[in-house]
Chains A and B, each alone.
Chain A
Amino acid sequence: MTAGVFGRAAEPIVIDVWSDVVCPFCYLGHAVLREAVEQFPHGSAVQVRYHSFQLNPGFPPGETVLADDYLARQHGMPKAQIAASHAQLTARGAQAGLDYRFERALMVNTLDAHRIIHLAKAHGQESAMVDRLFRAEFTDGLDVSDHKVLAGLAAELGLDRAEAEKALATRAYENDIRADLARARELGITGVPFFVFDDKRAVSGAQPVELFRRALDLSWQDRETQPA
């Protein structure tokens, strides 16, 4: 942020992001948003806040199933169609620097993954944890509902493993998740990723980087044209 700037221009552009760990388009959207912020001349004046969203909140805790098998079973989707869809997304992901390995991806209940994100947020590691969890899910094929896995990922980021294990063993951060879900309902969000810029503009889905740049540019223009 430029020193000596007064009024709204001195405030960060706040981007609220709703996403789920097992949502492949959320991983892509996360990467594309990061690219847009890096391109943005005022990128240092952007604050990204992640919020929990569960696509399958009723998925049985402790159960894991290959995502491909889940899609085929839950939606009656032919395996060939799943493969074609994944190939397309894999190509888009590669352009954004992502390494999708859909053959390894697991469908799990993501409540505890969201709890570890909130723990990381309390330590200023929110974005890093979101990024690491996406990679664990879509590249490493890890079970991101497993407490040992989650505590290990927290430790990778320099967080205290014992604190993570303790948080996971309790119902810590569930109220934060409830608040995120409640806000999503208020906003009418039914799909993710969903991005809200300064509580004013929204981007739905893993849009091209140009659309995120447009949202950033418009948000910055607001600061230049509106008084504090």
Chain B
Amino acid sequence: MESSNLEPEPAEAAPDAAEPSAPAALILLEPADDAGACSVDGWCD
């Protein structure tokens, strides 16, 4: 199987924040307690 990763650009480095967030331009609807997501470090919670 031939495959490769995308070459990461400098700005593509994973952000420090582990929690999903929305920029100021977006209105983040209030999340529920029992929702789940996976973050860029591969952690799902």
Q: Which residues of A contact B (CB under 8 A)?
A: 20, 23-26, 28, 54-58, 61-62, 70, 74-75, 85, 89, 92, 109, 111-112, 145-147, 169, 171, 174, 177-178, 181, 185-194, 196, 199-208, 211, 214-215
Contact = CB atoms under 8 A, between A and B. Distances in A.
Main secondary structure of the interface of B (DSSP, over half): loop
B3 to A, nearest CB: 4
Contacts of B3: 61-62, 109, 111-112, 145, 147
Contact of B31 (A57, A85, A185, A211): A211
Most B CB within 10 A of own CB, among A55, A70, A111, A196 = A55
A207 B6 contact: no
Nearest to B2: A169
Interface of B: 1-6, 8, 11-12, 14-15, 17-23, 26-32, 34-40, 42-44
B38 A57 contact: no
Given A61-B4, A200-B27, A190 B39 contact: yes
Contacts of B44: 23-25, 85
A154 to B, nearest CB: 16
B23 A188 contact: yes
Contacts of B40: 55, 190-191
Contact of A181 (B12, B19, B22, B31): B12
A205 B21 CA distance: 10
